[in-house]
Structure formats: C-alpha cells, structure tokens
Amino acid sequence: MSKISYIKSLCLGAIMLFAGISANAQQIETSVFINATLPVAQFNNPVNLEPFGSFVIMDRSQIGKGAAAGLGATARFGLWFDVGVGELQPYAEVGLLWNNSGSKIRKLYDNNADSLKNYPTAPQYLNVPIMLGLKYRYNLTPDLRPFAELAIGYDLLFITKNGYPSQTYRYKATGELTWMAGIGTYLGEHVSVNLFYMGLGNHYIEYSKRSAEAPEESFTERPSSRLGAMGLRVGFHF
C-alpha cells in the first residue's frame, strides 16, 4: 500500500469510528500534548562515521542512529463514552517529534572544518506520526483518574540535509507503520501526565549528494533503520 493510500485509510477509519460512536459519546475532548523523548532502538546505538572524500559523513547504514533526547508536540481529538467500569475514548492524533544528532556526532562534525573554515552541519530527525488509538480511563477519585492507551498509525520520517555549504547530502525516507502504548493519569479535569513508548517503524532511506563542482549524485541502495522513542507527555484537555 502506498504512503498516500495508507494515510487515506487512516482518515477514513477515523471518520467511520467517530461516526459510529458519536451518538453515545459522553464528552468530546480536544487535547494538546508536550512531549519529551528519549530515543531508543537504532536511534540510541553507537554511530560509526566513515570518510567520504574530504568530508566525514555518516555511513548510510548508520543513518538514524545516535540522536539526542528531543522534544515534540501532539494534537488529539477524541470522544469519551461510559463503559460501566470506567470510560473509553477512541481518538485520532497527529504528532511532531524532533531529535538532534547526539553530542558526540556534533563534536565530530565540528572538528571537520574545510580550508575556508566552514563547518559541516549534522543531520536532525523529524518524525510525524499519524495515529488512531483507544484509551481506557478509571475514575479513582475526582482528581486522580489513571488510564492506559494503545494506538497504531503511520510515521513520516524526515532527515535534514547535512554537510558543507558547497557540498550537502540530502535524504529521503519511506513512511512506515508505527504503534504507541502508554500509561498515565489525569490530574483533575484538564491536565494529564503519562509515559509512553512509540515504535516508529523500519524506515528505508535513500540519499543524494549535491556539490558546487559536480552534478547531483544519487545513491540507490536503501539501508533500513528501525527507530523508537520513549517519552514523557504532559497533556492539556479541553
């Protein structure tokens, strides 16, 4: 299934899901989350750098590794309804997770200035997960309502260009199936905190080189990089 078809299927699923339960909904909730993430899986592995001419570039099999702890934000729309022993909320959300290259990688890039004292820039990683999920909440007390949630969706990965001003490397990654699981609690009516793990999929990555001296060079081999992130999320609900 193509990337566009997969996203359309998620959107159609969300419309059908919410249309089917809206008549029984107890409360419509719109949420905004602030995320702090800790990369795991290949994001957190050691990075091997290999020389590429006069420039030290990340070996393609290592792209996606060595990122530093990042930040993110998520927007969500959900519908609550009573299930007798708690509340259930189907929801749809879209997120943005940002991770910089790790400090060791940035230091290696900073140590490789060219003859004009231009320093190469290290890549950064942006993930855009589009998710459909289900959350169960139990009203323990009016101010303490623990919950658990599970979601599946599609992750779009973007890697920023890196290199010198006169010679840059650009990346193109496939979108992949993703999933998320989390536990947390509401603190009153409008604030929640939770821990979550997100499996961001096994992305395939292509890259091309552009320089002032030579035409663009494309490299057709497609290394894969399985990415994941653990995180702490603070939510604000309306």
Residue 118 lies in a domain: yes
Q: Categorize the per-residue pLDDT at 47 as very low, low, confident or very high, splitting at 50, 70 and 90.
A: low
Residue 28 lies in a domain: yes
Q: What are the structure tokens assigned to 120, written together?
A: 């190469």
Average pLDDT over residues 89-104: 93
Least confident of 9-13, 80-84, 108-112, 147-151: 9-13
Look at residues 184, 196, 84, 92 and name the one whose alpha carbon lies nearest to residue 134: 92
Strand extents, DSSP E, the chain: 27-41, 49-52, 55-58, 70-82, 87-100, 124-137, 144-159, 162-164, 167-173, 176-187, 191-211, 217-219, 224-237
pLDDT of residue 111: 80
Domain span at residue 161 reads: 3-202
Residue 232 lies in a domain: no
Residues paired with residue 227 on neighbouring β-strands, in sequence order: 41, 201
pLDDT of residue 208: 80
d(CA 73, CA 85): 31
Residue 234 lies in a domain: no
> How many domains does the chain fold into?
1
d(CA 199, CA 59): 23
Residue 32 lies in a domain: yes
Could you tell me which residue, 168 or 214, shows the higher pLDDT? 168
Residue 179 lies in a domain: yes
- pTM (two decimals): 0.84
Residue 236 lies in a domain: no
Res. 50: pLDDT tops 60: no
Q: What are the structure tokens assigned to 154, written together?
A: 């599609």
pLDDT of residue 134: 97
Residue 123 lies in a domain: yes
pLDDT of residue 18: 54
Average pLDDT over residues 162-190: 91
